[in-house]
Structure 1
Amino acid sequence: MSEQEKMNEEIQEENIETAAEEAAEEETAEDNKTEGETSEEKAEADGEEETPEKENEQKEEKKKGFFHKEKKDKKDEKIAELNDRLIRQMAEFDNFRKRTEKEKQQMYGIGAADVIEKLLPVVDNFERGLAAMTEEEKNTSFAQGIELVYKQLMTTLEGLGVTVIEAVGVEFNPDFHNAVMQAPSEEYESGIITQELQRGYLYKDKVVRHSMVMVAE
């Protein structure tokens, strides 16, 4: 093969390679163009989704969600308010119940003390009658019956909380005793009660009647 022919053959091969490269570059450009068009179409498609109607729908959904949350919050606040009100009313009712019970006990105590005070003269008469009996009269069935009634009455009063105030041999206390006389005493020191003229009584630590006493000078 001559030199001329070799040169022609190399030129043809170079032309073929150049044509192939140009064809590849055109194909790559076409692909890029196609991808660009696809991206633009996608962007346009996305743009079509973001229409005013779509935006309004999204706003409405957000608005509904906001109102739903606000409604739920208001409902929780109302429940908390009602619970708080219920707790306060229960506390007030409990205080009212305790106060009513206390007032009831106080009224009962006042009423009971008033009745007991009215019964004490009856007790005094029983004691005077029994003390005035002779030994012979005390052995009769009548006197024994009187004594049984007296004991039953005192047992009933004790069951209600009535107790006798101590007097003779105890230091005078104005909270429990009423001194009507003072006299010298060889047996007791000054200020000590020497004689009880009338019994005094307590009803549950409350004085129903003071003891009427004589105190040593």
Structure 2
Amino acid sequence: MQLFTRVILLAVTVFSVSAVPRFGEDVGLEQVLFRMVLGEAEGRGLTPAAQTCADIYVNATGKYGDKLANATTACEEAADRTNGANTQVTNATINQIRVQLLTLEQNLQLCRNETDSAVFLNCTVTSFDKNLQLLDTSNSQAYRAKSQFVSNATQVNAEKSNCISSAVSEAKVQSIQAANDFNSCLDKIPTQREVPQQKEQQKKELQLTQVPKEQVSQIPQQKFEDLPLTN
């Protein structure tokens, strides 16, 4: 029984840590441990009481597994929503840069089309400061957007990792508790067997110590009949 419990505990601990396949490097490890548990259980031929303990354990770990899957899914969905919101903000800045560059190109093209040298110089001088301002503004916005994009990605990944780590840690604690409950359930089986046996033994002892009333009432009469008759 102790060996079976150790295998269960080992499987629970490793499975809890790598319960989310996409974040685990060795997907087959928990499967091997699960087969070890099944093999140990089949080899020992669980009694009905032990099977009840095993069923309770399986139901509990199944519930915790579903809870972990839902929690990690929620972490993924939250990260996706944050990424979507960040992308909208970044795209708004990028669209503004595109408009400014388009205005810059139009200003340059307008001057470029002038064939008269005097008009061309006048156009260039007139729009020069404005074009430089557009270029400088666009350049600064592009740097900020790029930096913000990297910062947002780092922050979202960190939040998602912490969220999943927290969910896995909680599932690990719950799974270990389920394994401890399973072990405790197995430990109680011998006690549960002794109680009916003790009651049966006490019942037999009580029956041996009690004399039926009919036998008690017949004893004086039998003794009287055995006495000799006298005048």
More strand by share: 1
- Does TM, normalized by the shorter one, top 0.5? no
More helix by share: 2
Report the TM-score, using the length of structure 2 for normalisation.
0.32
Report the TM-score, using the length of structure 1 for normalisation.
0.34
